[in-house]
Amino acid sequence: MLRRLFDALYAPLATLIVVPVTVLVCLIVIAGPTLPIRRELGRAGVRLMLASIGVPLRVRGREHLPQGPCIVVANHASYLDGLVLTAALPRTFSFVVQDGAANWPLIGLTLRRMGVIFVNRASALQSARLTRQLIRRLHDGEPLAIFAEGTFRAEPGLLPFKNGAFLIAARTHTPVVPAGIRGTRRLYGGDRRLPRWSAVEIVFRPPLRATGSDREAALRLRDLTRQHVLALCGEPDRHLAPSAADADL
């Protein structure tokens, strides 16, 4: 009963606080003169947003992030996942997200100014172009962060992983770092309009590598990465791995 009472009081109060803070952070990021500065402002801004509503962000295992290019693959449980992962990763990381976010008022412009890479899964042509772009970025030494489920649902559980990130990793001999995000689903997940208090934790595990550059090696890497993420996220396994024909990012 006490927890329900706390949630009932916390939700509107946290909303009244975090909305203006979020708008302020977005405007500051948009005004940043260079991409590195905008990303640093974004990282600090996310921590400010969480602190303003009393949410601690704990990050463990950052020492597992390799120097140079890599692909961080994390579970996806909430709209907040990209934000908290931004705060946890160095500013050199570029994020790959669904293109629908590019049209969100103010948020979309902020994401574009932070160098987010948008993917349109409905277009095979654009997906192919994006794949070539990501390969070039990795060859240039740029690390990436991807939510391999591609989306999230209201009910808890890790969805199947898309194949694209792992095909790219195998082809470019890029290490994949499994990451688990906890707490964001309770904080602002499902179909709720108001937040509930929850600590947020992100854990990185040592990088994994494909045993070859062919498709089978990529799919083995996908399955192994998913096992690690499943163990880290603390949610049930909602589905078996996708078929070999599913190569979407």
DSSP letters of the chain?
-HHHHHHHHHHHHHHHHHHHHHHHHHHHHHH-SSHHHHHHHHHHHHHHHHHHTT--EEEE-GGGSPSS--EEEE---BTTHHHHHHHHS-TT-EEEEEGGGGGSTTHHHHHHHTTPEEE-TT-HHHHHHHHHHHHHHHHTT--EEE-TT-S--SS--BPPPPSHHHHHHHHHT--EEEEEEESHHHHHBTT-SS-----EEEEE---B--SSSSHHHHHHHHHHHHHHHHHHH---B-SPPPPTT----
Residue ranges in the chain modelled with pLDDT below 70? 240-249
From 201, 200, 188, 202, select the one nearest 19 (Cα to Cα). Answer: 188
Q: Residue 102's pLDDT is what? A: 84
CB 138 within 8 Å of CB 174: yes
For the chain, the structural domain boundaries read 2-233
CATH code for 2-233?
3.40.1130.10
Q: Residue 188's pLDDT is what? A: 94
CB 176 within 8 Å of CB 160: no
Output the pTM of the full model.
0.92
CA 162 to CA 245: how far, in whole Å? Answer: 10
Q: Residue 240's pLDDT is what? A: 58
Q: Can you tell me which residue has the tokens 């024909």?
A: 245
